[in-house]
Structure 1
């Protein structure tokens, strides 16, 4: 065998790929996972971000205070009013690797992207790509498809203001079944606005603008009351906003580097968490527990770093240890900043210092009261986990830095053994785990975290996810509620969402919670089988498969055989993200859906209830449900 391999290995086996071929063959190297738009870090949003980053860099270089973004179906157009790409280099700038203006630190000192790859990746992964550069009364236009140039127009005169416009349509052969979700784009644009005070971003007619930077961000994200006014500190290359919530039980952070949202943190966030504890201990001259100091903190940190090193092309985690070639370490820089600025602030604002001290003392007392229950719960969970039939774990985990497929990891939370059995038999044991609920979980609305430890099922789920204290050690990137599409399944789904909203809202805020979409119908003839997720898909399948196809209505997950189930949790998995809209607070959501049977909710149900039998009175159905 080895001899044959050696004989067949010749010059013909050595290939040199064109730049666009390499990007299309290995897109994950350039934009992370592909996805379908259900996750905020899916490839279609990275394409969008790569183009916007260039426009942001123009603003940061004091050129252009406005960015216009239009999304029409799958087509994106981004227009900035910066300097415009030099006209003689327009084609090279979007289609020649290792070509760009950011290698010259005089033009772009603290840019997000420095390797000239981003725009080329967008070009190569787009079915249609057009660049227009406006510069000093002249315009240059070029069009591409899948990275190959299709139109190279000569320069023409123009009256348009200087700047660059990029339009693209992602390649449907690479991004199958994709859908841009407005909520994720809005979050991205709000962050851009907070990080760049004075910049106006207009998205499909809606304007995003901030005057107070990270202070505005915290005010937007706050749930309920805060214990003291937001502490807003900044200096060259660093900005901080800090407060404490009176509701949250966890630590909430928003971290950024050179305007990039580092959702996975990195050296700067680790340094901030350490520096905050150190500063508070020294200010009060008491060796408080770090967990008590940071409990319920809500903070945002943004730093600028020369030539930042990120741990991947998608730039979600900072790996740099130094601010710049001749600067201090990131850790020293942040510790010194807090020691100086925060310490001075607390001396000048004793009422804020007193509020922080009261919060620490309350957290300390609550921790000691819970410690006994926690100890028993952990011992019980540890004992049960050795023989835990409810959890069928996978081999790779999200918190394992060495795991090769950690971003693919997921856990399915199912109702009963029937559904979990089908998933377990058809899952990928490397990356897919299953947690089986006994039945309907407890309604957590209005309860304290004490119940998480006292309820065995909740405690085991908390232990399986590894989120007791924070999301840092979360074991699965996707936490998926997989219930039947009937009334009981919908109720269990709502109860589980309530559990996470009440005790682990950051899991949802950071885009880890999903609903598994499973087919409602199977339509097939002798040649083809179609799985339909809606009535519209069923009707389409009936029209396309000819006369008298066989139709099966799936009433529950347990009815779907493992051989079929593998199609629904494999590469074509359909996930619906659980997203908190910008106009909704967690408390309002919980009160509306899980509180007492309010008139508002009754009106909502009556207006949205679908009753197939016209003789049935909606109000009677509502009274029976109550």
Structure 2
């Protein structure tokens, strides 16, 4: 092979060096600023981050003692309007504050002592990723307005006003970045309730509803575990720290952690300090040396801290990294818990009794664990039902890595065969169930070690000791779209909700949607996920002349060839995330659908039968 010089070869000189403006860089690399794009079907999709960034600024005004009300409107056309009644952006700096990175008053601790948006990026990202963005500031009878289109300033206006002080931001997410986007009311409401719980006294108005909390995190826990708590939550609050916790009869521990008003779903130093403080407080009071897992078994807690210079892992602020806050939080929580128990000795006795019971169960479990591990070693070094992938987040994934791995839980060899043949072995693993798994509702955790399939599933996920060690970003239930498949799905969800609730609450569990119909002619094939889609596809293909339209009904995943299946687990796969509205609903749902209330369930089924 010969190599020839070409006049058309790219020339690398000074003319090729580019300097992007602040907004151009955000538009080019949106993932650096908002984490992900998406269309609104997932609570972490970018449009909710845009909404959050604007509302954060309004909440920061409330934190500084100015403006107790925020009005939010999301139109049917996707236009978002947020009006606060704070101090308003200084009129002469309005354009810079929403278009130039590293510009803002939040670097000045005299003006904003505890702010979420410390990087001077938030509102600029909203501007850059909107096809239309408008901001109006009202200050002392005057206003200034700036309008942007695709991040470019297209108009400015100033004048007199009778409006109350504050800021109005209006934006429409760019449909080129957020293709087919829509706002889901349940995701928006959940965010607004969190703002309310974290800022007692604040009122957010949205779609005729007022989101307001008088008691902060105490209200949050009362809502989450109202029917499962063993005692009223222990609650403390000062200028920079608020926390609350209670015990339930559940397994493991669950927490809601926040920094400067934002939800840190991966926790961080503040959460680990809170957990340690609870342990030390109980041990100091009791004079015992209980283990952390015994003290915190069944704990549901919430902690919110205010930090002047928070260090987050990314712009999306999922995990706090400040180590300097740890000591103060540990000591504050420890002292409060210890003092609280001295003042409430009867409650202290209830909690210590619960801890001793947890310790007893753990010791019984240790013996069963030892036997199960010895048995597993004799059978095989590898888990026989697992076809693993090469990439795992716990081993080699930097915090900014966008690549995700996943585990498909499938039913039978036929379905798993299709997935194994068509998967990406670098990031996609498959665990094949032998049949219908056991209904574990109401069963003790020792069952997991006596049932091979339950135990192997736990080993595969590596969540025996903690969900923190989870080996997969996504755990995907891939079952047939028939009655048996739905039953298996419910049994798997029961398994996770009964023993590993945090896995679901952290958003790791998904359901794979696969096509039910294939509608095709010789020239075109359309895969359909519902009867409605099938009818539309049949009409579309049938309208293209007098060509025969063939319709195939897939009864199970095994009927889809590996070649076809590859596209359904590729980049465009349809996943439905499993979410928990409130923790208190979980026991009720499991009891009704998976418990032994056969007459009640039968009556419900009879009342809701649909005859086709």
Q: Same fold (TM over 0.5)?
A: yes
**CA separation of 1:147/1:373 partners in 2, compared to 1, >3 Å: closer, same or farther?**
same
Q: 1:343 aligns with which of 330, 338, 344?
A: 338
Q: Classify the secondary structure of the residue corresponding to 2:495.
A: helix
Q: Distance between the aligned counterparts of 1:586 and 1:130, measured in 2?
A: 43
Q: 1:15 aligns with which of 14, 18, 25?
A: 18
Q: Distance between the aligned counterparts of 1:34 and 1:288, measured in 2?
A: 45
Shift of residue 190 of structure 1? Answer: 1.5
Question: Does the Cα contact within 8 Å between 1:409 and 1:478 map onto a contact in 2?
Answer: yes
Shift of residue 60 of structure 1? Answer: 0.4
Question: Does the Cα contact within 8 Å between 2:225 and 2:584 map onto a contact in 1?
Answer: no
Alignment of 1:379 with 2:383, yes or no, is: no
Question: Does the Cα contact within 8 Å between 2:383 and 2:460 map onto a contact in 1?
Answer: no
Alignment of 1:69 with 2:76, yes or no, is: no
Shift of residue 420 of structure 1? Answer: 1.7
Q: Summarize the alignment of residues 137-216 of structure 1 with structure 2, pairs less than 5 Å apart.
A: 137-149=141-153, 151-216=154-219
Q: Classify the secondary structure of the residue corresponding to 2:303.
A: strand
Shift of residue 124 of structure 1? Answer: 1.7
**Deviation sequence 1:561-584 (CA, Å, 0-9, x none):** 233323222221221122233496
Report the aligned-residue RMSD.
Answer: 2.6
Question: Does the Cα contact within 8 Å between 2:145 and 2:156 map onto a contact in 1?
Answer: yes
Q: Distance between the aligned counterparts of 2:578 and 2:197, measured in 1?
A: 24
Stretch moving more, 425-434 or 310-319: 425-434
Q: Classify the secondary structure of the residue corresponding to 1:64.
A: coil
Q: Distance between the aligned counterparts of 2:339 and 2:589, measured in 1?
A: 39
Q: Distance between the aligned counterparts of 1:531 and 1:154, measured in 2?
A: 52
Q: 1:363 aligns with which of 358, 364, 371?
A: 358
Residue 40 of structure 1 is matched in structure 2 by 43
Residue 623 of structure 1 is matched in structure 2 by none
Stretch moving more, 117-126 or 34-43: 34-43
Q: Distance between the aligned counterparts of 2:130 and 2:80, measured in 1?
A: 11
Question: Does the Cα contact within 8 Å between 1:381 and 1:463 map onto a contact in 2?
Answer: no
Q: Summarize the alignment of residues 542-561 of structure 1 with structure 2, pairs less than 5 Å apart.
A: 542-545=538-541, 546-547=544-545, 548=547, 549-561=549-561
Alignment of 1:420 with 2:424, yes or no, is: no
Q: Distance between the aligned counterparts of 1:600 and 1:169, measured in 2?
A: 48
Q: Distance between the aligned counterparts of 1:583 and 1:337, measured in 2?
A: 27
Q: 2:252 aligns with which of 250, 253, 271?
A: 250
Q: Distance between the aligned counterparts of 2:426 and 2:137, measured in 1?
A: 47
Shift of residue 38 of structure 1? Answer: 4.0
Q: Distance between the aligned counterparts of 2:419 and 2:445, measured in 1?
A: 30
Residue 266 of structure 2 is matched in structure 1 by 264
Residue 217 of structure 1 is matched in structure 2 by 220
**CA separation of 1:113/1:436 partners in 2, compared to 1, >3 Å: closer, same or farther?**
same
Residue 445 of structure 2 is matched in structure 1 by 449
**CA separation of 1:237/1:30 partners in 2, compared to 1, >3 Å: closer, same or farther?**
same
**CA separation of 1:13/1:378 partners in 2, compared to 1, >3 Å: closer, same or farther?**
farther
Q: Distance between the aligned counterparts of 1:381 and 1:181, measured in 2?
A: 45
Question: Does the Cα contact within 8 Å between 2:224 and 2:583 map onto a contact in 1?
Answer: no
Residue 605 of structure 1 is matched in structure 2 by 605
Residue 305 of structure 1 is matched in structure 2 by 307
TM-score under structure 2 length normalisation: 0.92
Shift of residue 598 of structure 1? Answer: 4.9
Alignment of 1:586 with 2:586, yes or no, is: yes
Q: Distance between the aligned counterparts of 2:193 and 2:100, measured in 1?
A: 32
Shift of residue 385 of structure 1? Answer: 6.4
**CA separation of 1:386/1:283 partners in 2, compared to 1, >3 Å: closer, same or farther?**
same
Residue 25 of structure 1 is matched in structure 2 by 28
Stretch moving more, 355-364 or 394-403: 394-403
Shift of residue 37 of structure 1? Answer: 3.4
Shift of residue 56 of structure 1? Answer: 0.9
Q: Distance between the aligned counterparts of 2:65 and 2:525, measured in 1?
A: 57
**Deviation sequence 1:87-143 (CA, Å, 0-9, x none):** 333332222222222122211111011111111112222233332333333343333
**CA separation of 1:558/1:64 partners in 2, compared to 1, >3 Å: closer, same or farther?**
same
Question: Does the Cα contact within 8 Å between 1:399 and 1:406 map onto a contact in 2?
Answer: no
TM-score under structure 1 length normalisation: 0.90
Q: 2:320 aligns with which of 307, 318, 321?
A: 318
**CA separation of 1:302/1:171 partners in 2, compared to 1, >3 Å: closer, same or farther?**
same
Shift of residue 483 of structure 1? Answer: 0.9
Q: Classify the secondary structure of the residue corresponding to 2:106.
A: coil
Residue 429 of structure 1 is matched in structure 2 by 425
Gaps of 5+ in 1: 323-329, 613-626
Residue 397 of structure 1 is matched in structure 2 by 392
Q: Distance between the aligned counterparts of 1:580 and 1:199, measured in 2?
A: 25
Q: Distance between the aligned counterparts of 1:363 and 1:525, measured in 2?
A: 62
Shift of residue 258 of structure 1? Answer: 1.0
Residue 461 of structure 1 is matched in structure 2 by 457
Shift of residue 27 of structure 1? Answer: 1.4
Residue 517 of structure 1 is matched in structure 2 by 513
Q: 2:287 aligns with which of 270, 285, 288?
A: 285
**CA separation of 1:418/1:306 partners in 2, compared to 1, >3 Å: closer, same or farther?**
same
Question: Does the Cα contact within 8 Å between 2:226 and 2:584 map onto a contact in 1?
Answer: no
Stretch moving more, 424-433 or 398-407: 398-407
Shift of residue 413 of structure 1? Answer: 0.9
**CA separation of 1:309/1:2 partners in 2, compared to 1, >3 Å: closer, same or farther?**
farther
Question: Does the Cα contact within 8 Å between 1:57 and 1:108 map onto a contact in 2?
Answer: yes
Q: Distance between the aligned counterparts of 2:107 and 2:86, measured in 1?
A: 18
Question: Does the Cα contact within 8 Å between 1:20 and 1:146 map onto a contact in 2?
Answer: no
Shift of residue 400 of structure 1? Answer: 4.0
Question: Does the Cα contact within 8 Å between 2:419 and 2:562 map onto a contact in 1?
Answer: yes
Gaps of 5+ in 2: none
Question: Does the Cα contact within 8 Å between 2:228 and 2:584 map onto a contact in 1?
Answer: no
Shift of residue 179 of structure 1? Answer: 4.2
Residue 107 of structure 2 is matched in structure 1 by 103
**CA separation of 1:483/1:369 partners in 2, compared to 1, >3 Å: closer, same or farther?**
same
